[in-house]
Structure formats: C-alpha cells, structure tokens
Chain A
Amino acid sequence: MRRGSLTVAAALTLASACKDPVLEARVEALGPDTGPYPAGPNHRAGAPCTLCHMEGSAASSPFDLGGTVYARVSPKQGLGGVKVRLFDNEGDELGVVTNEVGNFFLRKGELGPIDFPIWVELEYQGEVTAMQAPIFRERSCASCHTDPAGPTSPGHVYFREEP
C-alpha cells in the first residue's frame, strides 16, 4: 500500500516537472474564452492558435499552423472563404480555406512537406494579397499579428486595407 502511494507520487512529480511554466503563463494570459462560440473551429478567432493547440499544451488537438483572416483593417470582421495559400522554397504548395469566422488551421501533419520559411498568399474572389516576408518559424499568425499595429506588429491579418 505504502509502496503504491510512493509510485503515484513520483509519477505526479515527474508529470508536473515536464510542464512548461512559460507556456502555461502565456496560455493563462489569454484569459477565458468569452466568445460566442463553444470550443471548436470557430472559437477564439484572432488568438494565437498554437499556444493551446500544440503538444503538451491546453488543447488536445495540436495544429501545424493556424490563424484568422479579417476582411479589413476596420471593422474587425472575420472573412470566410479566403484561400490561404502556403508556399515553400522547394516549390511545395498547399491551400486551406478560412471558415465562417475567418479561422483556418492545419492539424498536426497536415502541413505535409511544406517547410519553413513559408510564404503566404490570400486569395478571395479572384483577388490576391500576399505577405511580403515569409514566416520563418511561428505557427500562429496571431503571435506576430497582434492588435493594435505598432512597432512590434503589423496588426491583425486583413485582406484589404480599404473597403
């Protein structure tokens, strides 16, 4: 009996030792999900997806990549039906389409052969806009694309600057 308790205690100690306190703090800093959607593809639009959706973090489904596309700078309204095209330097290409709130994501493994640096285009109703610099390693758009725009961020991802 005593031996069993010790084993459990040791296992708990090991498990807690593997947690990443920095990651936990960042997830905590996101605050509660106050959006209108339950946990699922539509929730937390504009949040850095892979902060939770990575192995060892809060969500059970890890992502390779994720983000939210908005129609314009302002008002901040998610844009569905945008084809997010990803390219790498080897000529590999992949497309994923935003859902009704503007969210898109690739589950773990879905990025396939695409490797960093990744160049991104957005295509919507025959019009295209593109990031001018590639993503070198970040897997959440919103980690760099935070609001408001300023010296450390270009602001949220939008399709058009003007209406």
Chain B
Amino acid sequence: MRRVAVVAVAAACTVSSAQKSFDVPSSDGFRYVSDMLGARCGSLDCHGQAGRNLRLYSRFGLRLSSDDVPGQGQVTAAEHEANYASVVMGEPELLSQVFGEGGRDPQRLTLVRKARYQESHKGGRAVDAHGDRCIVSWLEGEIDKKACFTASTLRKPPGFGTAGGSGGAGTGGAGGQGGLAGSPSGGAGGTGGAAVGGTGGTLASGGTTGSGGYTCGMEFWPCALDVYADCSAAKPSPPGHQVYAKADCQSCHGATGPGQEFLLSGVVWSHDTKAGAEHVQVAVKSGADFYLTCSDQLGFFFVPTAEQPAPNWPKAETHIRAVLGEKIMPADKEHKPSCNSSDCHAHVEHTLWAP
C-alpha cells in the first residue's frame, strides 16, 4: 500500500489549498502492470503521447528521457514510476475506495471501464482477460505477475514474421502507386509483380539464423520467435551435473577441455527456489548472427561450437527471457564465452537470476 498526496486547490476569491492523502495500491511490482499498460495502451498513436491525461511510457512508445528512443532499450524505473503516477492520479479518491474494499467493483474506475470498453474508448477493448486480471489483481493488493506478463506480450498475427509466401506484389499501379497483393493467392492490380518469400531464416536451439537471415527491425529477438515458443535444452546436462554449477563451464567445454566444445555456456538460477531455472531463453546477437539456447532442468545452458563462427564478443548483445520477463546484460559488462567464470556469474554477487 502506498499513500499519495494530492494538493487540492479551491479556486475562489481567497486562495486556499489542502493536501489530501489517499491509500492506493503499492508501486511495488507495478512495473508488471506498467509493462502491460505500455504494450496494450501506450503506443505512440494512443496513450504514448504527452498530451494524454493517462500518459504512458513504454519500450515501443513514448520515452521519458531525452536520450531514449522508442523501440530501443528497456523501460526504465523512472518510466514505470511516471506510469504509476499517471494511473494513480487519475481518480485518486475512487482508486482509494476500490483498493480499500479489496478491489471490489473495479469498474468504478475509468481506467477499468475504458480498458474493458464498458464506456466510450477510441481504442476499443484494450485488454484481454490476462490484462484485465493484471489490473484487478493490482487493485486487490497482490499483482498477478504472470497475467501481467502474458498480457504484455502481444501475440503476433498468423503469417507475421514468417517472411514471405504471400504471393506477388504489383508495381506501377495507377499513378505509380503499387498494386495490392491479396493473401494468399497473389497480386491483383499493377503489373510486373514478383513473387517473393520463403527466404526467412529458421531458428533452432543453439543455432543461428538460416540463410536469407531474418532481420527483424530494431528488436533483439527475431519476430518469428516469441516467448511462448517451447524452450527446452537440446541436450540436457547429465544427472549429478549440478556439482559443476558454480564452475566455469568452459574450463571443460572450451577448445582444449575434455568435454564437448561450447561457444558459450553458463547457469541461470531461480530466485524463488535458489536452484537452476529451466526453460529460460538465452541469446547472444553478434552482427547478423543470432545464437539461441535454452536452459535445462538444472539451469545449465550452452551453445555448441558446431562449426559456427564465434560471436564478436566486444560488440555482442546478450539477453535472457522467460515467462515473467526479460533481462538485458548491460553493454559495459564483459560479454564472453564463459558466463560462469569466477569473476562473473559464478561470483556470489553476480548470480544470474532468471527473470
């Protein structure tokens, strides 16, 4: 719970002001709600605009810092805090009432009614069941993080990110404007259409993008790969291998070690269980090459050498992702094959926790 103070100014001949305080849902964990609202409501053409009463900052929408750009970099703590303020200050009295009654009748709040499209909303129904649950759980006092994260990851439509196969596209239509291409039966209108498609790379655990490389915008993760993908280790570590969980994997799995040679390797941990975390996507992007792997039942992950070129480590980007979010390794940290070396993630202060 958090108390917010609102200064109410009574406009009259004499100026008086009174500060009122309200008990409202906590900002702890609000980043999960914030991420969901940002993804579903905060695009640049909706609430990601400075002129909005409900102004939302998000990764692909409006940014708070003058140094940040939509689509680049994670949402900052300051942006989450600004979103919290935006949501809380909309109807503080009502919010306090709803929260005080354990989240009962949340539709008393404009935020909820608009999101559910129970009242006029240009964006229509903005949240799905998970998104609704996310907001309501926050109002109830215990955020359903999984619902929030599920709702914050927009499902891409069928065909999107598969790079082609939609038939021909015309060029030189009326007045030089391209003709239309209907899916899936090919182009209509315009002439000289050329069939394109089938060039998108495919991704395999531990592999790199296929020929024709699917370059997907400014985003780190390829469009075709979403977090719902079944992320399982291609080759789980053998029983008892956890005794090596604090060791530098590359000492055995490097070029001169006795084990299978890895390009990179490490261990990711669950903060809840303090044991290895399974089903975590670990990826390194190096130029056009994308290296992807998934952690096994003990939290181990690796990318086999398999005649692939090594990443250009000084310029590599490293992300990990799981059902509750994503972590990005800061650019100023040393990216290298041995994630688990003693001065890196094997160090007690730098344990690699899963999102």
A and B part of one assembly: yes
Alpha-carbon distance A127/B211, docked complex (angstroms): 10
Chain B 37-49, CB within 8 Å of chain A: the 1/0 string? 0010001111001
The bracket for how many chain A residues form the interface is 35 or more
Alpha-carbon distance A129/B170, docked complex (angstroms): 20
Q: A91-B159, A132-B217, A137-B123 known; A42 and B46 CB under 8 Å?
A: no
Q: A91-B159, A130-B160 known; A154 and B46 CB under 8 Å?
A: no
B155 closest partner in A (C-beta) = A89
B64 contacts A151, C-beta separation under 8 Å: yes
Segment with Cβ contacts to B, from A7-15, A24-32, A52-60, A79-87: A79-87
Cross-chain contact of A149 among B65, B69, B122, B187 (Cβ < 8 A) = B69
What residues of B have a CB within 8 angstroms of the CB of A123 in the complex?
Answer: 163-164, 196
What residues of B have a CB within 8 angstroms of the CB of A40 in the complex?
Answer: 175-176
What residues of A have a CB within 8 angstroms of the CB of B65 in the complex?
Answer: 151
Label chain B's interface by main secondary structure: loop
Chain B 110-143, CB within 8 Å of chain A: the 1/0 string? 0000000000001100000000000000000000
A126 contacts B199, C-beta separation under 8 Å: yes
The bracket for how many chain B residues form the interface is 35 or more
What residues of B have a CB within 8 angstroms of the CB of A121 in the complex?
Answer: 160-161, 163, 223
B62 at interface (Cβ–Cβ under 8 A)? yes
B181 closest partner in A (C-beta) = A95
Shortest Cβ gap from A18 to chain B (Å): 21
Which chain B residues numbered 232 to 256 have a C-beta less than 8 Å away from chain A?
none
Shortest Cβ gap from A151 to chain B (Å): 4
Cross-chain contact of B176 among A100, A133, A152 (Cβ < 8 A) = A100
B169 contacts A87, C-beta separation under 8 Å: no
B218 contacts A96, C-beta separation under 8 Å: no
A144 closest partner in B (C-beta) = B44
Given contacts A40-B176, A95-B169, 18 further A-B contacts (CB under 8 A): A40-B175, A87-B157, A91-B158, A95-B181, A95-B183, A96-B169, A96-B180, A119-B160, A121-B160, A123-B196, A126-B196, A126-B212, A128-B200, A134-B43, A138-B44, A151-B65, A151-B70, A153-B69
